Amino acid sequence: MADDVQPEKSRAKPHYHEHRNRLRARFAGDAGASMPDYELLELVLCGAIPRRDVKPIAKALLKRFGGFGDVISADLKALQAVDGMGFTSAVHLKAVQQAAIRLLKHEVEEGHVLSSWDAVVDYCRAAMSRDKVERFRLLFLNNRNRLIADEVQQTGTVDHTPLYPREVVKRALELGASALIMVHNHPSGDPTPSQADIVMTHAVRDALAKIDIRLHDHIIIGRRETVSLRSDGLI
């Protein structure tokens, strides 16, 4: 039987129909600012799971992963492993995450990067803080310190990402960059730079200096905190 064909006896509105209307009305009141995580998650799931009470699913997701941000940042397969979730609903949640990341990236793209430093850090945290493996992101800037490219240069393991100074230099020249910011995450959650992080940063800085490109900073993203090697006097 097709999903949109209902037998006569089941055409009464399901018990959660009015609940969804109330959720939408509360959201409209203040754009969701006062909604607890489980209600906001319910509202998101309503669009992906139209014919089922999604409150138990929302609560199961929060119990499994943590807060709202942890849920939408979870791995696609891990989301599908929660009872009631499928591929469509998992993709729906990942789309919410991507929307949030793009909104934050827009703030970086529209401004002078060095005077919008909090926006840069917020964007990088949203994009990388929950990754399960290390990734190296390079933010290439023009001579006015505006973003011209944002690229993940390397993906590594849970505790190591190789980054080669010659590849960084090559890409910076291709883009006509005048400066760049290095960013990578520590999946352990601790953003404290290792000695290898510091040595590699110096190697990239020195290679860029030879072609008159400035390394503004190297930001390390942890689970809750970030470290700036320049602020810590390590560059």
Domain 15-100 has CATH 1.10.150.20: yes
pLDDT for residue 221 is more than 60:
yes
Type of residue numbered 72: I
Q: What is the mean pLDDT of the chain?
A: 87
Number of Cβ within a 10 Å radius of residue 94: 16
pTM here is 0.77
Residue-level pLDDT at 157:
63
125-148 burial, b if ≥16 CB within 10 A, otherwise e? Answer: bbbbbbbeebbbbbbbbeeebbbb
pLDDT, one tens digit per residue, over 34-93 is 989 999 999 999 888 888 889 999 999 999 999 999 999 999 999 999 999 999 999 999
Residue-level pLDDT at 23:
84
pLDDT, one tens digit per residue, over 161-219 is 678 899 999 999 999 999 999 999 999 989 999 999 999 999 999 999 999 999 999 99
Strand partners of residue 226: 221
Spacing of C-alpha 108 from chain mean position? 14
Residue-level pLDDT at 2:
36
pLDDT bin (cut points 50, 70, 90) of residue 4 is: very low
Expressed in angstroms, the distance from the first to the final Cα of the chain is 66
Element (H, E) at 33: none
pLDDT, one tens digit per residue, over 117-142 is 889 999 999 999 888 888 999 999 99
pLDDT, one tens digit per residue, over 16-41 is 667 778 888 888 888 888 989 999 99
* CATH architecture assigned to 113-228: 3-Layer(aba) Sandwich (3.40)
Helix axes 87-110, 37-46, angle to 10 degrees: 110
Domain locations in the chain as residue ranges: 15-100, 113-228
